[in-house]
Amino acid sequence: MTQPPTTPARAPGWFTDPLDERLTRYWDGRRWTFHTADRPRAVQRAEAPKPPEAPPALRPDIAQAVSRVSGLLVGSMKEVNLLAGFLRPEERVLALTGAQGEGFGVLACTTQRLLFLFVGIVRKQVLEVDWNQAKAAVYNRSTKFLAVYTTRPTKRAVPAMAIRVNNVSDAHAIVNAAEAASAAPRLDVV
């Protein structure tokens, strides 16, 4: 007498549903039950954290100006790294320093203008005075403000730009670079 082939016995448990691979179905040891559950997804390996991106390389003229700063650029390096994006194609940076307007930023003297850049979370401040418009630059030692005038500086004259520069030698470097770039400003120290 021949016996029917037997299927190997399987212990009860949760197995991949033979009708839907997205589910698991319970095998009671003799047959499939009506109990199903979503199939657990394979555990994905956590990716190794990416190293922080290095800041973009500075343009050579900006890097050279940074190396000559005698004061601190604390709080201004973000703006130094963004400075190239605010320059005109043929413009070169001659000198720069950390300065304060609506926030700590960078004051740059270029071949064409004086440019202050501050990029905050909420606001951005970009001030500029072209050298062909500037008549004088006045640095006040007591207030530490560098004021650039487009008219002759008098008691009633309003500066086109007034930025706080804490380091006197950096203020002098900015204005000396401006004098080299154009015949416009001369520095008065009050």
At residue 145, the pLDDT reads: 92
Q: What is the identity of the amino acid at 65?
A: A
Neighbour tally for 171: CB within 10 Å:
26
Three-state DSSP state, 185: coil
pLDDT digits (tens, 9 = 90+) for 20-73: 888 888 888 888 887 788 887 765 566 666 666 656 688 999 999 888 887 777
At residue 3, the pLDDT reads: 56
At residue 36, the pLDDT reads: 81
At residue 56, the pLDDT reads: 66
Question: Using an 8 Å Cβ cutoff, are 23 and 17 in contact?
Answer: yes
pLDDT digits (tens, 9 = 90+) for 80-132: 989 999 999 999 999 999 999 888 899 999 998 999 999 888 888 899 998 88
The answer to whether residue 185 scores a pLDDT higher than 60 is: no
At residue 156, the pLDDT reads: 92
What is the token pair recorded at 71? 């004061």
At residue 43, the pLDDT reads: 57
At residue 50, the pLDDT reads: 65
At residue 190, the pLDDT reads: 47
Q: State the average pLDDT over residues 152-176.
A: 88
Q: State the average pLDDT over residues 9-26.
A: 84
What are the residues whose beta carbons fall under 8 Å from the beta carbon of 127, sequence distance 6 or more? Answer: 101, 115, 116, 161, 163
Q: Which of 86-90, 173-177, 180-184 has the highest mean pLDDT?
A: 86-90
What are the residues whose beta carbons fall under 8 Å from the beta carbon of 63, sequence distance 6 or more? Answer: 57
What is the token pair recorded at 152? 């002759």
Higher pLDDT, 190 or 73: 73
- Domains along the chain with CATH numbers: 10-40 (no CATH), 60-189 (2.30.29)
